[in-house]
Amino acid sequence: MPERITVTLTLNGARRSFEVAPGRRLLDLVREDAGLIGAKEGCGAGECGACMVLLDGAPVTSCLVLAASADGHEVVTVEGLARGGALHPFQEAMVTHGGVQCGFCTPGIAVTGAAVLARGGDAADRTRLLAGNLCRCTGYAKVMEALDDAAAKETADAPA
């Protein structure tokens, strides 16, 4: 097995290459190699969702994904959610509804919520998707209110 491999991916819209050990996790590439420290390591075992990033638009627990498997793919972290310098609508709604307290879970919830909005899921779909993000502070009600609010605004803003 080679000591280092090259992983080339689109990270928050920019094409980037990294030389990494074959067993390096996507979470370590994002945080340590790319310096994007939004995604957090909580459990390190796929249980808490603090490390969530979007891989080709789908939320994944980056602590369980090999960096090598992101080669040729698109990764979006919480740092890549802003649009034109403004917060993503779900991030704005999280602030408005008080869905952020200690903030440790917030980057993971933000990317998962953005994915839920992008796919236009129904209420059950939203609950199912967010079930992978543990939060010890908000009790989830405010997070779900923020998601509903952002979804309503996205619908209202959509071209007729």
**Residue 146 interacts with ligand FES (CB under 6 A): yes or no:** no
Q: Are strands 74-76 and 5-11 parallel, antiparallel or unpaired?
A: parallel
**Residue 137 interacts with ligand FES (CB under 6 A): yes or no:** yes
Site size toward ligand FES (CB under 6 A) is: 23
Q: Is 85 exposed, middle or buried (0-12, 13-18, 19+ CB in 10 A)?
A: exposed
The neighbour count for residue 8, using CB atoms within 10 Å, is 13
Q: Which is nearer to ligand FES, 49 or 80 (CB)?
A: 49
Least distance (Å) from ligand FES to the CB of residue 42? 4
Instruction: State which amino acid sits at residue 52.
Output: M
Q: Which is nearer to ligand FES, 10 or 101 (CB)?
A: 101
Distances (CA, A) of 74 to 20, 132, 150: 17, 21, 24
> Which residues between 45 and 104 bind ligand FES (CB under 6 A)?
46-51, 61, 63, 100-104
Residues at the interface with ligand FES (CB under 6 A): 41-44, 46-51, 61, 63, 100-106, 135-138
